[in-house]
Chain A
Amino acid sequence: GNSVTQMEGPVTLSEEAFLTINCTYTATGYPSLFWYVQYPGEGLQLLLKATKADDKGSNKGFEATYRKETTSFHLEKGSVQVSDSAVYFCALSDSGGGADGLTFGKGTHLIIQP
């Protein structure tokens, strides 16, 4: 079956530091890959996605590239802000949007200190 593995944290960084959150996956076929973010007391929001190999998803300064050869979808940001503090989830789906059921990683709690 499908599975997603990501570092759980918490990951603590100083403002303006470079961020990498690793994500690797196991899937049959060619899944779509997603990063979701969850702020305290809120539901999940789609941050970015990629639907085929070598695609790069980007949004709000965050980027992730679909690497089929390493089955990875690492999240990066060049300069983090305090407002980026949240829990980040890597996920995959057999469909482009995820309505058929997303498989999530356990989530990475990111804390940005001023």
Chain B
Amino acid sequence: KAGVTQTPRYLIKTRGQQVTLSCSPISGHRSVSWYQQTPGQGLQFLFEYFSETQRNKGNFPGRFSGRQFSNSRSEMNVSTLELGDSALYLCASSLGEGEKLFFGSGTQLSVL
């Protein structure tokens, strides 16, 4: 069974641009969560989607948004990029509430 797949693996953008990251969950998983990992702040929860609905949300500004499609694939979008958005963005999928999370290898975003 394929694991959680995140694309692209690396991304370089400039300030003010927007970016879209993609996550394909493990087959059959309906929950997808997103995390930001930085050296300073560590791992922080962005949001979680289940069956195309955002169910939980962390404490990030509205520039960070996401969506989930009917096949459970998810995208997150960051608009008006700032230097501080440089981070590893991790996606995790699970069958649902109370089930184990499986993480992807992440997308490394660099904002110049």
Please give the residue numbers on chain A whose beta carbons come within 8 Å of chain B beta carbons, in ascending order.
41-46, 89, 91, 95-107
Binding site for A on B (CB under 8 A): 4, 31, 33, 35, 42-45, 48, 50, 55-56, 58, 90, 92, 94, 96-101, 103-106
B103 touches A44 (CB 8 A): yes
- Interchain CA distance A105-B41 in the complex, whole Å: 10
The answer to whether A100 and B103 have CB atoms under 8 Å apart is no
User: Interface on chain A toward B: helix, strand, loop, or mixed SS?
Assistant: loop
Q: Given A104-B43, A106-B42 in contact, is the A99-B94 Cβ separation under 8 Å?
A: yes
A101 interface neighbour in B45, B98, B100, Cβ under 8 Å: B45
Shortest Cβ distance from B28 into chain A, in angstroms?
14
Cβ contact within 8 Å between A99 and B50: yes
User: Is the pair B58, A101 in contact by a Cβ cutoff of 8 Å?
Assistant: yes
- State whether A46 touches B42 (Cβ < 8 A): no
30 contacts between A and B (CB under 8 A): A42-B105, A43-B4, A43-B92, A43-B103, A43-B106, A44-B90, A46-B100, A46-B101, A95-B97, A95-B98, A97-B96, A97-B98, A97-B100, A98-B94, A99-B48, A99-B50, A99-B55, A99-B96, A99-B98, A100-B48, A100-B55, A100-B97, A101-B48, A101-B58, A102-B45, A103-B45, A104-B44, A105-B42, A107-B42, A107-B43
Q: B43, B58, B92: which has the most chain A beta carbons within 10 Å?
A: B43
A27 to chain B, nearest CB (A): 14
Closest to B98 in A: A96
Which residues of the other chain, A, contact B33 by a CB distance below 8 angstroms? 98-99, 101
Question: B42 contacts which chain A residues (CB < 8 A)?
Answer: 104-107
